[in-house]
Each structure stands twice: as structure tokens, then as C-alpha cells.
A and B are shown apart, each in its own frame.
Chain A
Amino acid sequence: MNATVVLAGNPNSGKTTLFNELTGGRQHVGNYPGVTVEKKQGTCKCDTGRFEIVDLPGTYSLTAYSLEEVVARDFLVDEKPSMIINIVDASNLERNLYLSVQFMEMGLPVCIALNMMDVAKKRGIEIDIPKLSSLLKLPVIPIVARDGKGKQALMAAVTETVGQRPEPLRISYGRDLDAALDEMEALIRPAEFLTPQYDPRWTALKYLENDQQIMDRGYRQDKITAMKLDAIVQRVRIHIAQTLDTHPEGIIADHRYGYVHSVLKQGVIRFFQDENRIQVSDKIDRIVTNRFLGPVIMAAMLMGLYQFTFTLSEAPVAWLEGFFGWVSAMAEQALPDGMVKSLVVSGIIDGVGGVLGFVPLIMFMFFGIAFLEDTGYLARMSFMLDRIFRMFGLHGSSVMAFIVSGGIAGGCAVPGVMAARTLKSPKERLATLLTVPFMNCGAKLPVFALLTAAFFAESQAQVMLLITLISWTGALLVAWLLRSTLIRGESTPFVMELPPYRLPTLKGLLIHTFERIIQYVKKAGTVILLISIVLWAMMTFPGLDENQTKAFDDQRSLIVSDLSREAVDEVMTLEDEKLTQAMITVKENLLQVDADQAGEALKNSAAGRMGRALEGITRFAGFDWRTNIALVGGFAAKEVVVSTLGTAYSLGEVDPEETGTLSERLRTAEGWGPLTAFSLILFTIFYAPCFVTVVCIAKETGSWKWAAFSIVFNTGLALLVSTVFYQVGSLVLA
């Protein structure tokens, strides 16, 4: 037997665990068409057949409240799966069945997988499964998703009932609404309004529920019928407001819950203790969300996550660096000097290395986040921080993305932007992922370290703290600005479940982590490689012309003119210790010519020309063309600002970790002072995210528009802040 089956259910009902159990990790992650909601698919092979399983997003209802609900509903209507496996949390039966009832109202074939029977038992809940099954007229199979118990029975039941089309469930919604539904159904049927996709009575119900999505569709298909239906709804609405002082939506929800309640009351469920009795979870919450202890524990958890990620990823990052260094060196030797070599070494190998360099970070970060999410702690963090983040138009869940991106200095915006996925509300999510790049990621730190060492050597720690405060303030204010202009709109309701604390399964965590990595490498990898090559070309071409190159060659010839051929070879190959003082001077002179040439070539490159052209604007912020080139290079990765400054100041390649000579050079360079340095620090905090982050923003928002926005807006903001600071500073100090 071959069939497509969907897996649906409430969030936190064990849906993902069951999905992993059924598909055994052989799964494929994509997106639902046109939206950024994840679509997981996998194959379940069992004794009775082969099933294609689609994991619907977890929802509490199908009322099109959130994007997830819209997606779930559209999928059910458009794809008409041959079966819904509805996972239901036995310890939370009433609320879970509220969703099942809505599937049944749509006339979809449902099989209930009753999960967490063990938890229910512990809480003194007893469920009469045959009775539930006969009252709902559908199969109900007890399972334990965590260890796969009941999986065979579930799939056997699915095989048996698959493809059957049950009659849609009819619930009575009270006299007024039932009459209106009858009247609307009588209009819908002959007009073939929105049929056959939707059941006529279901369409009528959605009209009464004031469901904008269905109403828009109806209006587009058949204006006349749509308007007639609207008129009926209006009439009922007014009547109900006058007689019952409520809305049709309210009555519908009441009756749906009423139906569930009446089913359960017929001896399906028995409580041996008060269902709202204090559970272990509640006891933990008393400590963990306590007014005083809560914030302390939260800070410790965040620090812990941070330590975990950045400590553990240090070694693999170093291995990767070492590996790519080795590949680079091999290529360096194997290829003849010239453009091809430069492209391979600086463009391709560095590009691939750049893509993969983030993998260990993403791996450990998402393992940590998935752990916090699956235990239920993440929801508590949102709960505690919501009040603060809401003031800026964000959401309690935004905190994770900010911390990961470098809220505690040294994070990375790439996993940060990806961490914004834990936010279910689209507007808050967008505002979050557009502002997290302002945090101080690990790559900005060498830039800050260089500048503070050169100009604020006595108060480095205080300046670093100031930088952290500025980036948080800036990010929150920009979020607030965006939420009051471009992404304006009511804040998404915080009506959220605090799931009971649970110990996550290692399998679940690993699958989640590897999904993230594969997605990153597949989706972002190719684009990142491409941009890396473009940036390389910008920093390389058009290069120096023949005359200029010849001038540098002449300088070299002059330096070595009174040395023999063998002596020159010795200078170039031997260690410093084996050379005489005179020969070391020769070598230094030669290296200086190389550095000068590199500096000149950079000045002449496309990036260099851009830097010089922009000097007219940036000098108001205190930046000359050298700084501009460095900032252009910083778009590749922020630490490149340091090495490019080195090249621009003819110091040759500067290692971002070893900036002693460069800070020395900057201290004495013309046009540099504490004012310029701090202006550059401000600019570095706020300007365009590195392109890996930009690509991730594009992938996460599903639109290059927001990626472009983040480049243009952030750079504009940075220029404004730096210029104002520099100008005011110059006035004050003058």
C-alpha cells in the first residue's frame, strides 16, 4: 500500500518525536510554497505498506490565527491527504481534541494516536479508549512516541482506514447559528461556491467565524454569492450582539469545546485527582520563574549555553581553519603564480572555508537551543522577558536570537538570525532578525581590540562595556523604530502554553541539529561561495598596470643590485638567524616593496576606487579612503577590516590576532585619533551585516528585499551615527 498521510497535532504533543520514530530520521526538509514555514517529509516503511508522511506544523486550532494554521489548513484542503494521524496528548485531552473536532468538521479521515498515556496515568487520569473511539467514530490507538510503542498498531489502523471519506461532523452551534448555517448552505450548494475544495457547511461556518482568508477567496470566486453570505453573517452578528451580547466566533468556540466536553463526560475520562493539582513541573516553575531567582537562573542558563557553544566549537573551528590553511598551502605550491592561483586560493578555498567555518558554531548552538526548547525552558525565558522586549515591539522569545548573535560579546549573527525561528509571530520575528546583526559578534571583536588598544589602552574594559551597551540600545531602538514604521502592527498575542518540563531525547536533538546544518550548507552555501568570489574580484581587479608593476620591479632590482644571485636566493629562503645584519635589511626592504605594491594594488582595485570615491562622504565621519576600503572588505567578514587596513597601510598581511604593529601605525598615522577611532567603532557596530548574515536574512525572511534593506539601512544608520558623533566630538574638543 502506498499513500500520503499527514501528521498533525498540538505543539508539545510529541509530534516531532513520533515523526522521527515513524520515518527513522530519513526525512526531507523544505518549505511550504511561498512561505517560510518548514515542511518535513519522510517515508514510513512498515509491515502493512509504505507511507509518505508529511509533518504539518503544530497548531492548536485551524482558525487561521497564525501562519502555521493557515499553512496546515491549506495543505489539508489542497492536497487532500488520504489520512490524518492526529497525535493527541492524553494528559491534556480536552484541548487536544478541540483540534481533532475541526479535522472531523472538514470531513477528513482521522486516526488518533493517543500519546503520553504514561504521563496521564501518573497524573491520575484514566481514559476509556474503546469508548472514545466509538463516540468519535474513528480509530484511537494508544502510543508512547518516545520509545515507539504502539507504532505498529497505529500504522495497521491507518492501513485499514486509509482513503475512507467520512461524513463531515455536524455540531450544533445553537438555534441562531444553526439556522444561519442552513440558510447559507442552501445558497452555497447551488452556486457551487468554493466547492469542491471546501465542504459547503464548513465554508458557511468560516464565514460566521469571520475568517478573512476564506472570505477573500470567496469574494474572488463569486462576488454575488459572497455578498449574500456577508449579509446573512451581518444579520446574525447584530442579532447575537443584541440578544446574547457576544460574537458568533465566541459561540462557535464554546460549542466546539462543549462538544468535546460532552464526549469526555460520557465516561471516557476519569480523574483520580484534581486535574489542576500542582505537578512537579509547577514546583520547578515556582523556583525557575521566581521574581528574584528566575532572572539569576536565566542569566546562568544563557551564560551556560554561550560557554557550551563557543568553548566546544573552538577546536573544530580551529581544525577547519587548519585544514583549509593546508589546502591553501597545497594550492599555493601546485599552481603557477597568477590570477588563477589567486582566484583558487583567495576566492574559492577561502570562500568554501568561510561557509564551512560556521558549521561547528551552528551545530553546537542549535544543539543547545533545541535542548532548551525541548525541555520547555525556552518558553519560560520568553515568559520572563516578554515585558521588556514588548516595549520595543519585540517578543519574549527574541532574547535567544540576540544573545546568540553576540548580546554577550563574541557570538555570531548567522546562527542568531537562524535562532529567530523560535519566534512564532511574523512581525516580531522580522524585527528581531533585522536587528540582531547590531550585536557584537566574534568577528567585530578584533576590530574593537585593535582600536581600543591603539587609542584607549588605559580603559579598554570600560570601552568594551560601553560598546556592548551601545549595540543593545541601538538594536532595541531600531527594533522599536521598525515596529512603529515599516513593520507596524499590533503585537502578536502572548497567549502561549508553558509546556511541562521534559527530558529531551538525544535522537530528537541530533536530528534537529543536523537538519539545521544541512539547510545552512545547502541553502546559504552556494550563494556565499559566489559572493566570496565577487568580493575577491573587487579587491583584486583591475590591479596595477605595466608601468606601475615595472616601477616596483625596478625598486626591487635596485635593492639587490649589488648582491650576487646566490646571495639573493639566500635572503629569500634562509631563516633570519642565519643572515647577516646587512642581509636582513635587504630582506626587510624587499618585503616593504611587496607591501607597498599590495597597498598600491588595493588602492587601484574596484574596492579601492570605491573607497576613494566615498571619501567625500565618509570624511565627515572621520574616515579616509584606507578605512573605507577596509570597511568594504569587512562585508566579507568583519575581521577582514583589520587585515585590509594592514594592506592599505602597506604593512603587508596583518593577522587579526596580532595587531601590535598596526595599532602602533594607526596611533601615529595622520587623521587618526581617539575621535576617529570611536567613530569607526560606532560604524562597525551598526553598518551592513557581513554577507553570510545577509544571505541568511534573505533565506529566513524568504525575500531578498529584506536582505537588501539590512545592507542599505544599516550602512545609512552607521554613517549617520558616526558622522554626528565625529562632528559633535570635533566641536566639543575644538
Chain B
Amino acid sequence: MFEKSVFTKLAAFAVALMILPGIAAAHGPTRQKASESITIDAAPDKVWAVIQNFGDMSWHPRIAMTDATKGNEKGSVRTLGFTSGGMMEEELSKYDADKMSYSTFIGHVNVDLLPATNYSSTITVKPADGGAKSDVTWRAAFYRGYPNNEPPANLNDEASVKGVTEFITEGLESLKNKVESGS
């Protein structure tokens, strides 16, 4: 809930409170979560092969280009170029090839691209159907796009959950299509 506003947000809070001491009303935003899973008709190795390079997110339809500073090393930062225009930087916070899983963090989300802030996510491939198929789970925790009270409708809690869920779902569906079509 409170534990991670960046300085600018706090400054904004502080200003808002100085101006409006009478309505030092409801507290700041609370953290939200989104999670989606998809079953892919391919062995885990094949699915992992597509997503294992942190520096290549071409499997997501919204991503036009990716470039990672240090490959799959923890702390590597990838720059995501969106097909709609605009860029974001995402850091690799955890990488475990044995578990076919990695975690990322975006401290400064471009809310035009994703209506959230302080976004962290984990994507994991697990065997399904005795290893013939794969279950891919992508989950994210984040705050709404507008850090202060009274957010506009496009940057409130519901909008952040909806926006992140769509981003995740599109990615998973695209990954499934890519793997199952053998492309």
C-alpha cells in the first residue's frame, strides 16, 4: 500500500496536503494484482526457448523492438519499444532457467502504454499433461497509474487491473500462437 511511492509522488502528496489540510482524506493507493495463465500445446522447453532471452520480447504483439544491456543477468535492463510508439525500461530482477521463470520490475511506467506504476511481474513455464504441454503463468503486481487521491477514470485501480490484464493476455495468446504454429 504505502511502501513504495517514489519521491515525486510523496512531494505531490505533501503539496496536496498543504493545500487541502481539511481533506487529508483517504490514504494513498493500494497495490493491485493481475495474473493470467494459458496452456500451450508444446513441451516446456519449446515454450521457454521463445521467451528465455530477456532481450527479446518480440513474442509480444505490442513490442516492436527490445534491447537488453546485460542479457539474462540479474540487473539487466531492457528497453521496450512499443508498436504504438513510446518506450519503457524494464529491469530483470530474478532469472531462474532451471525453473523456467524470470521476474521483472518497471519503476517508471509510461502510463500511456500501461496504466500502472511500480510494476513488477513474473513469467513461469511449467509442464502440463505429463510434460507434453505447458502452462505459462504471467503475474504482475502494481499500483494504479495515478498515485494521488481522486484518480481520473483512466488511471484508477480498476483501469490499472484492466490495462495490465490486457497486456498480459495479449502476450500469452500471442506466445501460444507463435509456439503452436511453429513460427
- Asked whether A and B interact, the reply is no
Q: Which residues of B contact A (CB under 8 A)?
A: none
Measured CB to CB, the residues of A under 8 A from B are none
